Structure 1
Amino acid sequence: MDHLKEKGKKLGLGIDTGGTYTDAVIIDLKEKKVLAKAKAPTTHHNLAIGLREAVDGILEMDGLDVEDIRLVGVSTTLATNSILEGKGARVGLIGIGWKPKEDWYLGEQKAAFISGGHEVNGLEKEPMNMEEAEIAVNEVCHGVDVIAVSGLFSVYNHNHESKIRRLIKEKSGLPVICGHELTGELGIMERTVTAVLNARLIPILDTFIDDVEGSLRKRGVVAPIMVFKGDGSLMNIETARERPVETILSGPAASSMGGRILAGLTDCIVIDIGGTSTDIAFLDGGFPRIVPEGANIGQWRTRVRAVDMWTAALGGDSEIVVDRRGNMELRADRVIPLSLAAEMYEGFLDKLETSGETRFLVAYPRDGDGLNEKERSLFDFLRKNGPSTWSELKRNVDVVLLDRFVKRLRDKNMIVGIGLTPTDILHLKGDYQKGSVRAAEIGVDLYRPSMGLTRNEFASIVLNRVAAKISQEVIKKIILDDGGMMPQGRSCDFLLETASRGIDSDLIQMDVKVKRKIVGIGAPAHVYVSEIEKRLGTEVIVPENHEVGNAVGAVCSPIVETAHVVIFPQDEKFHVFSSFYIPVTYSHIEQAVGAARNMVERHVRERAEKAGAQEINVKVEVDYKKSIGGELVAGEIISRIDVNARAVGQPPI
């Protein structure tokens, strides 16, 4: 650790809370070189606990002076998990100029919809009735924690949203989130969902940030703290408290940026093989591709800018199950690997050896509030007895349809499975040594006889299937991006499996050649390099420190903010609309475009500065949309003009 003893270095502390482990790295911010790293199990019931353990592990390393840490970057799954689990503040919603369709679920606890709103050209649809608005505010503000306000076409004119915000502040003093502040994209349902989810997440991210900040300050780390966003960039904690919804999918985004940085590439495909899933991202010019229409989280369609990540339910902790006929299945369910469970739970190895079973369940250390009688019976048994086989549960717990109640408790993050996984296979092969090799051997020995295989043959089949599945997912993503859709059916599956060499055919051979280099990150990435290279016909790079790529991305990425302005020509006038300024009208197109450029550049620079950026670069692009007809100008008329700006800056160090 002599490199840590060199004084005067500008060091970064990167932290990532993943599905299985929380990683921490110390990195030389100038050289982008990892100097130290540490891991701790992710504590799903309270992410801050695992985070503190990982940070303690790295701060205790010999030679590290915390005064040399100039920047902290944190990537967290908290926002995504909280949305999926339905957690957060009670939200009231006021909609202006629209009403939801019957099948819309927006996530609010109380709602009122009032007159007002604007047209697509930013002009007022109808005046807002302030008497009606006062009644709505008084009704909705009672019994909630925060208010979301969403007006029709507020991205082109936020006047009505701003009026309601002032009224809510006067009447209740509750926090208010306006849709136009979070996104400039159209789509009233998606923009409203974005505002409601942001409101729900505020207390959750507040608590998490307080825990992180308090823990670091107690340990002498006084550097600025940045939070990773889902689009592959950073923001300071003040901005994260205001716009927590922007942290959804921050984990996958951090993996894509970390992989690119470690490999030293700008255009590449990053594959992150994690415990729960495998994430695939395409990067252009050093940044991940962004979902054009906004991120989807479970049932929620949002307008949040987030990485266009292709996620496959396959990871190091995916469960391997072999039935009595010798058919092997790689399941999507995440379980604790046998090899790690043997280290975590006293007596588990003996129980595994004597039970003759590979599949167990265990309770998380939680209090079990909110469970019904059947759920409580199952949960209490597991909490009292520790890891238990399915056979034990069927004998001792009076629950009919056990599978259904197990699924409910797993969905509530109350219990987790234990079973044979690819991680155990890596222990067996000697490629990963964090747990009990003996437990992995027992698990394989219980399954392989029905397939008539040796341990090594069984292990090879598992690893080949994982490599083939990952290769298939890369091919699928390329087809979707280039072709726009993925054909369905057994014939398509056969072609994919043949192309990725997942199956052998006597009659056809298909060879794939991917034209970009692939970067593999995640703890097991190095194991699959040669097999993925053979299947995809391209170089696969697994950089040094690939197992902590997410944590590297969390601290080494830039700050990025975007904004746009739209200009609508009408009656020989040019109307300039945005989500952040009042509408303005000009007589000449050059005036309108010039004003829009200045407006959007100033706004995006201010947002970047507020997010903590220094050395800011702003790029503005003007896109003239033309159509045929009307008053002809060389055969075409300008129907609208989009002025887009992107600010890229560096975090403070």
Structure 2
Amino acid sequence: MIGIGIDTGGTCTDAVVFDITERCILASAKSQTTHDHLEQGIGNSLDKLPKELLHQASFLALSTTLATNACVENKGGRVFMIFIGVSEKVVRNTYRDYGFESLDDILFVEGNAKEHTEPGWDLFEMEIAERLSAYDSVAIAQMNAEENGGAYEQKAAELVRRHSSMPIVCAYHLFHDRNVIQRGASALLNARLLPVIDGFLKAVRSSMQLRNLNYPVVIMRSDGSLMNETYALNHPVETLLCGPAASVMGGAYLGHYPKSVIIDMGGTTSDIALVKDHLPVRADNGIQIGSWRTFVKGLYVDTFGLGGDSEICYQENNLFLSDRRVMPLCILAAQYPDIFRVLDNLDDNYWKGHSKPMYSFYIRQKDIAGNSRYTEEEQTLVRMLEDGPLSLAETAHALHTDVYKLNLQRLEDEGIILRSGLTPTDMMCIRGDFTLYDAKASRLAVAFLAKSTHHTPEEIPALVYELVEKKLYKNIVRILLEDRFRKTKSYAYTDEINLLAEECFRFSKDGQDDPNHLIQARFQSDAVLVGVGAPIHVFLPEVARLLGTTCFVPQEAGVTNALGAVIGDIRAEVIIHIKANYEMNSEEETKSGYYVYGVREPQIFEAYAEALAYAKKAGETAAREKALEQGAIEISDVIFQEEQQNAMAYGMDLFLGSEVHVEVIGKMDFTS
């Protein structure tokens, strides 16, 4: 059986043809991701694959970093969050810790599921009727939802539907975990990503139809397993780290090392994962990306802003890399040669340099004509960009302001416009490590940057390479320290670790230290660094040398994500909680039964064995249903795991409860 794998990243769209039976890659291709028309980049990669193999394939498997990048770059639809029975004071004190940006987008509704006290629905309906018009979707999370199966969430959703047809996400439908703020953040993020994944899947189907390809489409989840289109459309948050998960699966498959660190560098982000005993390490309590804390189950992947398209910034004489993705100037010049009208005159117009990157441009991504959410000034600018990119100076002039007062952050954050500037990709073009594009535009911008920072044009590419290597090194060190010393994640040691890693990087790079220092610091690892992603081969060998280890960059490094997508299976996990119910009498504290939470309404049993048997049976039933919903036609394996929690109290070892993990592994139907 043959499968097609496609990975749509921030910069490139990769494709592979994989023989499932023989476990080998038959063909591969790479094209530029076209963000304004995703179907073009997908189609370009498909067209580079042999047609006969495309028509022999049984299915198409997808992975993407679109959701990851949307989180890192703070993009996506605007979501109205509804909390039911949640303390407003608690949320005010912690909301930023979970990724919420503003309290203005949150409505607090009273209601207590434990006491069966329903919210005031009439008042609730009046409030939402006044506020919904400014949003794209709604997320709803209820406190103690396990007490009534999320009934208040469902009721609130019904009332919202009376006033709007916008998508609604109920948190308890997605996750049964008890932390309601984290569950709410997960639901909000799911709602925010709805248009991202919907647009992606439509682009895929459009590309297939144009080429007369009609077979099942599956997409990778954050845990390295697969789900069908319907499930993905309703659960886009499950794709949050599907691109990185695909790189982990592909890197582990190609590397075959018992202990390794997998580093995937794309255009926008870099993702680091760990492999122990040949198995990828999984996230313990839901994955986190940037400031977003979620209950999405997945492989342990640490994502940070570093890629071939990271913006090179400067302040006075210092160069640094931003987390934000911009389009490399070498790529922009290939698409719009007219930008040389600005670049060719940089030397004459700014002969002493400038505090602003006057070589940067703005490109239109989406049309907002007639959209009342945007100001007349914003709509005017986007309309002017129809004719092609405008430079920083031209944009300021068009808006009757100067480059110092120009503020287009909202349009960038919402993906309406994209900025182009200098990136590591431009430096690779200049140094000949990336030859797909001409380096003329990059060199002209670097000459401007040199005058603005008092570096020479020859020094700047090497300085940028070192910035990339340092950021990779420091993040690998941080992640390995967090893995060894788990408690460091619970404390604010980020600044201290960053300072120590900075010193160790410099010492390892220079090979010498201040003779007055009484101790030398250097980090070393015996884990193999496995590099995947198009630009990684340029930077990883030096990082491995600094860490005293070796690296492996497979020949298929540029399309590893696409390979990872096509070798997955279907996995569904359900967690059932068993809690001991204690009662106090005049002499001692005694158990009076065991509550089982996690499936519909809670159940109570006198004996623990009965509660455990019920939890396993209910968990397996729910996991099988979930696997079938994801697209499985056959369950090949069921795995049970019980984790008990105990605590010392009153001089006794008290049983608090258990978590029963039930995971089913299934096969997908690729015959339709």
TM-score (norm 2): 0.81
Q: Give the one of 573, 578, 595 matched to 1:562.
A: 573
Q: Give the one of 455, 468, 474 matched to 1:472.
A: 474
Q: Give the one of 616, 629, 648 matched to 2:636.
A: 616
Percent identity over the alignment is 27
Q: Which residue of 2 aligns with 1:6?
A: none
Q: Distance in 2 between matches of 1:199 and 1:494?
A: 38
Question: Does 2:29 match 1:38?
Answer: yes
Cα deviation, residue 505, structure 1: 2.8
Q: Distance in 2 between matches of 1:165 and 1:391?
A: 49
In structure 2, the CA distance between the partners of 1:378 and 1:496, relative to structure 1 (3 Å rule), is farther
Moved more, 365-374 or 275-284: 365-374
Cα deviation, residue 377, structure 1: 5.7
Q: Give the one of 372, 375, 398 matched to 2:375.
A: 372
Q: Distance in 2 between matches of 1:176 and 1:487?
A: 37
Q: Give the one of 534, 552, 566 matched to 2:545.
A: 534
Matched-pair contact (CA < 8 Å) for 2:310–2:423: yes
Secondary structure, aligned partner of 1:543: coil
Cα deviation, residue 109, structure 1: 6.6
Question: Does 2:331 match 1:340?
Answer: yes
Q: Which residue of 2 aligns with 1:126?
A: 115
Cα deviation, residue 381, structure 1: 5.4
Q: Which residue of 1 aligns with 2:217?
A: 225
Secondary structure, aligned partner of 2:637: strand
Secondary structure, aligned partner of 1:620: strand
Q: Distance in 1 between matches of 2:329 and 2:161?
A: 58
The C-alpha deviation readout for 1:542-575, integer Å capped at 9, x for no partner, is: 0121111222222222322221112222254432
Q: Distance in 2 between matches of 1:217 and 1:238?
A: 18
Matched-pair contact (CA < 8 Å) for 1:99–1:113: no
Secondary structure, aligned partner of 2:561: helix
Cα deviation, residue 63, structure 1: 3.7
Q: Which residue of 2 aligns with 1:314?
A: 306
Cα deviation, residue 151, structure 1: 2.8
Q: Which residue of 2 aligns with 1:462?
A: 464
Aligned ranges 1:175-214 → 2 under 5 Å = 177-199=169-191, 201-202=193-194, 205-214=197-206
Q: Which residue of 1 aligns with 2:354?
A: none
TM-score (norm 1): 0.83
Q: Which residue of 2 aligns with 1:398?
A: 400
Aligned ranges 1:499-510 → 2 under 5 Å = 500-501=508-509, 505-507=513-515, 509-510=520-521
Cα deviation, residue 593, structure 1: 1.7
Matched-pair contact (CA < 8 Å) for 1:558–1:648: yes
The C-alpha deviation readout for 1:267-296, integer Å capped at 9, x for no partner, is: 421111222232222234555444444344
Q: Which runs of 5+ in 1 are unaligned?
A: 1-9, 118-124
Q: Which residue of 1 aligns with 2:586?
A: none
Q: Distance in 2 between matches of 1:477 and 1:162?
A: 37
Q: Which residue of 2 aligns with 1:418?
A: 420
Q: Which residue of 2 aligns with 1:75?
A: 63
In structure 2, the CA distance between the partners of 1:382 and 1:288, relative to structure 1 (3 Å rule), is same
Secondary structure, aligned partner of 2:613: helix
The C-alpha deviation readout for 1:496-544, integer Å capped at 9, x for no partner, is: 4335527853436544321321110111222224312211112211012
Q: Which runs of 5+ in 2 are unaligned?
A: 351-357, 582-589
Q: Which residue of 2 aligns with 1:586?
A: 605
Q: Distance in 1 between matches of 2:362 and 2:550?
A: 41
Matched-pair contact (CA < 8 Å) for 2:64–2:242: yes
Question: Does 2:625 match 1:625?
Answer: no
Matched-pair contact (CA < 8 Å) for 1:94–1:147: no
Secondary structure, aligned partner of 1:636: strand
The letter for the 2-side match of 1:115 is G
Q: Distance in 1 between matches of 2:255 and 2:389?
A: 43
In structure 2, the CA distance between the partners of 1:335 and 1:300, relative to structure 1 (3 Å rule), is closer
Q: Which residue of 1 aligns with 2:585?
A: none
In structure 2, the CA distance between the partners of 1:272 and 1:200, relative to structure 1 (3 Å rule), is closer
Matched-pair contact (CA < 8 Å) for 1:90–1:108: no
Q: Which residue of 2 aligns with 1:361?
A: 361
Q: Distance in 1 between matches of 2:455 and 2:82?
A: 61
Matched-pair contact (CA < 8 Å) for 2:6–2:15: yes
The C-alpha deviation readout for 1:219-264, integer Å capped at 9, x for no partner, is: 3333221122223322111211222222223222222222222323
How many corresponding residue pairs?
627
Question: Does 2:432 match 1:430?
Answer: yes
Q: Distance in 2 between matches of 1:329 and 1:100?
A: 39
Q: Which residue of 1 aligns with 2:556?
A: 545
Matched-pair contact (CA < 8 Å) for 2:266–2:308: yes
RMSD over aligned Cα atoms: 3.8
Q: Distance in 2 between matches of 1:64 and 1:458?
A: 45
Q: Which residue of 1 aligns with 2:112?
A: 116
Matched-pair contact (CA < 8 Å) for 2:194–2:236: yes
Moved more, 140-149 or 479-488: 140-149
